[in-house]
Amino acid sequence: MGQSAELTTLLDRAADGGRISAEEALELYRSAPLHALGRAADTIRRRRYAGTEHIATYIIERNINYTNACVTACKFCAFYAAPKSDKVWTRDLDDILRRCAETVELGGTQIMFQGGHHPDYGVEYYERHFSAIKEAFPQLVIHSLGASEVEHMARISGVSAEEAIARIHAAGLDSFAGAGAELLPARPRKAIAPLKESGERWLEIMETAHRLGVESTTTMLMGTGETNAERIEHLRMIRDVQDRTGGFRAFIPYTYQPENNHLRGQTQATLFEYLRLIAIARIFLDNVAHIQGSWLTTGKEVGQLSLHYGADDLGSVMLEENVVSSAGARHRSNRLELLHLIRAADRVPAQRATTYEHLVVHDDPAQDPVDDRVVSHLSSTAIDGGSAHPQLTLLT
């Protein structure tokens, strides 16, 4: 009874806007009743977005994978191939630009440039590609890469991370997608990604980017064997940097997918753990504006539920995605279905920009867009046969 009263007091304090400690967050994550946790998180969301709390956002984007060659060999990844493997492929610039054109045609506003740590790709590779994309499609936002790619390209080119960031930003990179965060605490990070930089180094590079005017999102991969305490420590590390920089626009947790990788599904996060993490992130990360639900890895119903547990954004209609698809994510949707999911959660859907401004608020279902080619996600390499939608000839 005493503990229940203490948890209630703690939840009430958090819901009223009080900052909680990492120790308090861990206690809530472990012990607070699920619905009470969700109510507190939703109260915080509603207060933060007073006036637009009835809205949940989405974006139309494309994830362009430029190569699967990678020297990092993370144990959870089913996408990469060893650089000398006969399974390696790369996309040439013309192919990448065609995919950008298709994105614009379908109303997409953002591309995520994502691939392996190719042993030959230094800063110059990204400068060349980003400048070509911006020259051809200045309306597209390049929201791509993360600290791990920066560390790799800087090493290949023999420059500092700061110089690498400045150069690719000048070439056209608008913001970082927060890739490579995985799990920031040392023990789980070394267990699943032993060749990557440390979590502290990942955050140091992101902090440098923020100082240079390049904002980012930040992510978390849950379900690879980390403890509850390590999940909360991941959030604490993010919050500490955010206190100094304010450069993280959003936090996006997603769940490990078990197919075709070295971990072989030995551990996974349950859907309840995921919803609890969404809620505790909204409660604990009082300095991060947006929390994104990930229906791509958890399923559409759980993504919809996340909107009641503190999330204000339901991710994207991702026109192409190959990385988590390779590991078994098979959840697909289209724009109309995403609008329905948001409405069924008693929210009004709005298409957003990369920086979260509302581009179109879909407050009248009779005016909904009807282009059924805007389908998520059309995987061109991970799923046999590529696109299942013949009305859109996806480049393969």
Q: How confident is the model at residue 30 (pLDDT cuts 50, 70, 90)?
A: very high
Domains of the chain (ranges, CATH numbers): 54-376 (3.20.20.70)
Instruction: Give the pair of three-digit tokens for residue 251.
Output: 């936090």
pLDDT of residue 296: 75
| Residue 119 banded pLDDT, cuts 50, 70, 90 | confident
Contacts of 237 (CB under 8 A, 6+ apart): 184, 185, 199, 200, 203
CA distance 151 to 161: 6
* 391 pLDDT higher than 50: no
Report the alpha-carbon distance of residue 52 to residue 347 in Å, rounded: 10
What pLDDT score does 295 carry?
Answer: 80
- Across the range 354-379, mean pLDDT stands at 80
Structure tokens at 325: 């698809």
Q: Which amino acid is at 43?
A: T
Angstrom distance (rounded) from CA 76 to CA 144: 20
Q: What is the pLDDT of residues 263-273, one digit of tens each?
A: 444 456 788 99
The pLDDT, as a whole number, for residue 373 is 66
> Three-state SS string across the chain, please?
CHHHHHHHHHHHHHHCCCCCCHHHHHHHHHHCCHHHHHHHHHHHHHHHCCCCCCEEEEEEEEEEECECECCCCCCCCCCCECCCCCCCCECCHHHHHHHHHHHHHCCCCEEEEECCCCCCCCHHHHHHHHHHHHHHCCCCEEEECCHHHHHHHHHHHCCCHHHHHHHHHHHCCCEECCCCCCCCCHHHHHHHCCCCCCHHHHHHHHHHHHHCCCCEEEEEEECCCCCHHHHHHHHHHHHHHHHHHCCEEEEEEEECCCCCCCCCCCCCCCHHHHHHHHHHHHHHCCCCCEEECCHHHHCHHHHHHHCCCCCCEEEEEECCCCHHHHCCCCCCEEHHHHHHHHHHCCCEEEEECCCCCEEEECCCHHHCCCCCCCEECCCCCCCCCCCCCCCCCCCC
pLDDT, mean over the chain: 85
Confidence class for position 71, pLDDT limits 50, 70, 90? low
Distance CA 377, CA 320 (A): 5
**Nearest residue to 57 via CA among 348, 344, 274, 375:** 348
What is the separation of C-alpha 391 from the centre of its chain, rounded to a whole number of angstroms? 28
pLDDT value of position 364: 94
Position 74 scores a pLDDT of: 59
Cβ atoms of 250 and 218 within 8 Å: the answer is yes
CB neighbours of residue 9 within 10 Å = 10
CA–CA separation, 208 vs 214, rounded Å?
9
Rounded average pLDDT over 350-358: 97
- Name the range with the highest mean pLDDT among 106-110, 219-223, 353-357: 353-357
pLDDT at 320: 62
pLDDT at 90: 85
Whole-angstrom Cα distance, residue 343 to residue 347?
A: 5
Q: State residue 374's pLDDT score.
A: 65
Give the lowest-confidence range in 110-119, 172-181, 249-258, 329-338.
Answer: 329-338
Confidence of residue 287 (pLDDT cuts 50, 70, 90): very high
Q: Is the pLDDT of residue 262 over 60?
A: no
pLDDT tens readout for residues 314-336: 988 877 644 433 333 444 457 88
Do 183 and 224 contact (CB within 8 A), yes or no? yes
Rounded-to-integer distance, Cα 157 and Cα 143, Å: 22
Tokens read off for 360: 């179109």
For the chain, what percent of residues have pLDDT higher than 70?
A: 83
pLDDT digits (tens, 9 = 90+) for 154-199: 999 999 999 999 999 999 999 999 888 889 999 999 988 888 899 9
82-96, 156-170, 282-296: least confident range: 82-96
Put simply, whether the predicted model's pTM sits higher than 0.85 gets the answer: yes
Q: How far is CA 74 from the centre of its chain?
A: 18
Phi and psi at 340, nearest 5°, equal: -65, -45
pLDDT given for residue 346 in this prediction:
94
395 pLDDT band (50/70/90 cuts)?
very low
Query: In angstroms, how far apart are the furthest CA atoms of the chain?
Result: 65
Can you read off the two tokens belonging to residue 23?
Answer: 């120790």
Cα–Cα nearest to 177, from 373, 316, 374, 349? 316
